[in-house]
Structure formats: structure tokens, C-alpha cells
Structure 1
Amino acid sequence: MDEKRCKICQKILPIEEFEKNQYNKAGDVIRRSECRTCRKYKKPIPSSLKNAFERTNPRPTIGASFKCPICERTLIIEKNRDVNLDHDHYTGAIRGYVCNDCNTGMGKFKDNIFVLERAINWLKGKDE
């Protein structure tokens, strides 16, 4: 039985757990690098949870000053999308507001701590 490691959860799973993505020049099937479970990971914030959070933690308004808890940059909100309500894409739990750059960065890494740690080591010049 063929197996493959998921780049997101790092589990070794049967090849059937990875969707077909494309074919190479030889006509062989190439499968996605993330398993079906991780591929469906993007869980939206339930509107009831978002509304409850925003009642007690109002979204920063246009013209307001906002300090991102991740990059610690202070910015003046010019557009609503300058600040995002971040959440865990697996559980839907809200983590809080972050700047758009940090939210995009975490999204590109699919909230995968292992990949983020490797990126940190890469930036430090370590090959771990």
C-alpha cells in the first residue's frame, strides 16, 4: 500500500487520502501535498461567535490606531481590511485582531506551527 506524508499535519497516510491534482508528462497522477482532511481545514468563524466576540471586543474603526500583537507594528486604520479577526481554521476559535500582513502570512503557512518553525530556522540561517 502506497503512503505519503501530509505537509500540513505531518501524518503518514494511505495515498488515497490525497486528492488527485494533475498529471506529469509521463501521464502519471500527481496528488496534492496535503491530505483531504487538511485540505478542508479552512473553517469559517461562526457568525454567532464572531458577533459575540465583536460585542465585547469591537473591531478597530477607520482612523483608529491599532498595534498588531504579532508584529507589534502600530498603524492607523485606513480600510476595514487593514485589520482582520484571526481564528483557528481547524476549530473556528477566535484568537483576536491582527494586521492584514500577519493574517496573510499565517494563512500562507496554513496555520501550521511546524512549517512556521522551519521558516524561522531558515531565516536564522539554521538547517534543522
Structure 2
Amino acid sequence: MSLPLDDRDGRRRCRDCGEWKLLDEFCSSSKRPSGRGSYCKPCFNQRSKASYAKRTRETRGREVKPVRKVPDGHRYCADCGSVKPLADFPRNRSDSTGHGTYCKPCHNARTRNTKQRLYGGSREYHLRRRYGIGEKEFQELLAEQGGVCAICGTPDPQHLDHDHRTGWVRGILCFNCNGGLGQFRDDQSRLAGAITYLRGTTWQRVLIHPGVYQMCSPTRGRPPSPRS
């Protein structure tokens, strides 16, 4: 004689596996007075996967790939087809595991391909994303400067200078000039103070007699110490 399917002391028998389980182990169902369905959660999940695979096969004409069993602390990379530790995957807060879908080498390769496909290369991507201009505008601005650094005149500068408060592009500088403005925090008073300091402390050659020069400083009346 088969056991009835009605609830017994807060339990129910699953129609698929035939096991008696607590009602909390069954999926929710508004059609039953108890609010629980006829299948336990593991059996219901199997039924859902089988139903999805059948619909996909009938409507799209393709088979659903089976779920791969991955050890704890690991993840499967679909690009290289390998199982790797989570540490080999980039961080991703939007994912439930906290890591990206593809391992770091595959992720980097996808990023490079995307930059090449959408922007024509990493440089164009960097210029567009950070400064809002492309390589074409960069070359036009460099041509307006005569092909040299806007401050010191060094040929072929490659650093785009911008106002850190507004984001507006100001010009193209060489590495040293661009770094110098950053060290002085784009502060005109600091730069003016540096110029005053150099003028007052830089040793210069002064002609004291025809053909005779002496090193002196505007603010220091003694020559530098002789070298040992």
C-alpha cells in the first residue's frame, strides 16, 4: 500500500525521490494549502533543468551544455576551457563569487580585443576615456604647438596635460614638464616661488677682469666649496 501524499506532522513525500522531508525543503507553491509544492528542491531543480533543455532543443535546435562540477575555491574559464583557482580570476563585485567569468590572461586578451575593435587600439581608448579626445585631436593640438613641448620646446612630446579641477585639456608636454607641474600641484604661487628661489641662489659666472670670471651668487657672497 503506497503512502499518501498528504502532509504528516509537517512532512511531505516528494513525488520524484519518494523521500519524506520537512515542508521547508519543498519549493513554494500557491496552489497548495500549505504553500509548498509536490517536489523537494533538488528534484524540482532537476525538473527545471530538464524542461529548459527540452525547450532549448525544440525551439533553438541546440543542446544545453551540462553544468560542470568545479571544486570549491575554483572556477571554470570558458575561453581557455580550464578550471583554475579563484585567485587566477580578476575581481568583480557584481558576481556572486566576487570574481570575473574569465581567468586573468583570457580577461586581458578580451580587453585588448575590445579596445582594438571599438577604438582601434589602447592609446585611442586611453585618450578617449581619460581626456575625451582621440589621437586625431592630439596630433592637431601638437601641430598647433609646432610639434614641441608647450613649456620647454622639447621635440615630440607625448603627455597630454589637463586641468585636474575641470578636466579641460591644456596642452601637450614632455615627461619632465608634465611631472613638474604635477609636483608643484598646478599652483602658480609655488611655481613663482621656485623661480624667485632659483634667481636668488643659482651660482653664475661673473666677469671681473677681461678674460677672468668668478662664480658668485646673488644672495651668497662666498664661492662654493672646492671639490676634494
TM-score of the pair, normalised by structure 2: 0.27
| Larger RCO (CA within 8 A; separation ≥ 6) | 1
Report which of the two has the higher share of strand: 1
Q: Indicate the structure (1 or 2) with the bigger Cα radius of gyration.
A: 2
TM-score of the superposed pair, with normalisation by structure 1:
0.46
Q: Which protein has the bigger helix share?
A: 2
